[in-house]
Homo-oligomer: A and B are copies of this chain.
Amino acid sequence: VFRESSEKKEEKERVRSALLRAALRLGAAHGFASLGLREVAREAGIAPTSFYRHFADMEELGLALSRELVGDAVDAVCASLRASRGGSAKALVDAMLAACASDPELMRFFVSERVGSSRALRASLQSQQARLVEGLRAAAHNGSSGAPPLTAAEAACVLVLDACARTLEDTAVPGAKLREACVSSIEHLLAKAQP
């Protein structure tokens, strides 16, 4: 039985991570679907053939981006919702916009490829979106207001993802206005009852 030393494993992990970040960097500019394996390997500073030591093809790399990096980002947003003790509209919008500010390339990948070209990648990112919806409902459940209906929480997440997409555009509306509009729409959605 062979066990790899932790040093070798860490080095491999560094290169793998460089590939993931390179794909995000290039994909943010020209779209993930049009990325080539050689292009990503070049950006990551390895030979084209070394790509295969980490992923079978670009689709597998895309799925890793969704499962690992996007998954972590969603976890962070959910943790922030839990910490702010409630699934308020403000908390959701602020947590997501903070994620956009701290890793714009990753969030661009999330919002774009969610409706992008690869069926498998779409499915994976939509399940990340579903995790966000559940995180929102769970946080609201512990908050003062009780969990909102699934439909309302889903719509809230659609709106906040759209706000993220707009924030990430260069031609962005002033951030504060966009944030207010999004918060107010989501508050309407999450309001318990109509008159």
Q: Name A's B-contacting residues (CB within 8 A).
A: 30-34, 111-112, 114-119, 122-123, 151-152, 154-155, 158-159, 162, 165, 169-171, 181-182, 184-185, 188-189, 191, 193-195
Contacts and interface: CB of A to CB of B under 8 A. Distances in A.
A166 B13 CA distance: 36
A16 to B, nearest CB: 24
Contact of A181 (B111, B154, B185): B154
Copies, count: 2
Contact of A188 (B112, B119, B154, B194): B194
19 contacts: A31-B33, A31-B117, A31-B118, A33-B33, A33-B34, A33-B117, A112-B115, A115-B115, A115-B165, A122-B169, A151-B181, A152-B188, A154-B181, A155-B159, A158-B158, A159-B159, A185-B189, A189-B189, A195-B195
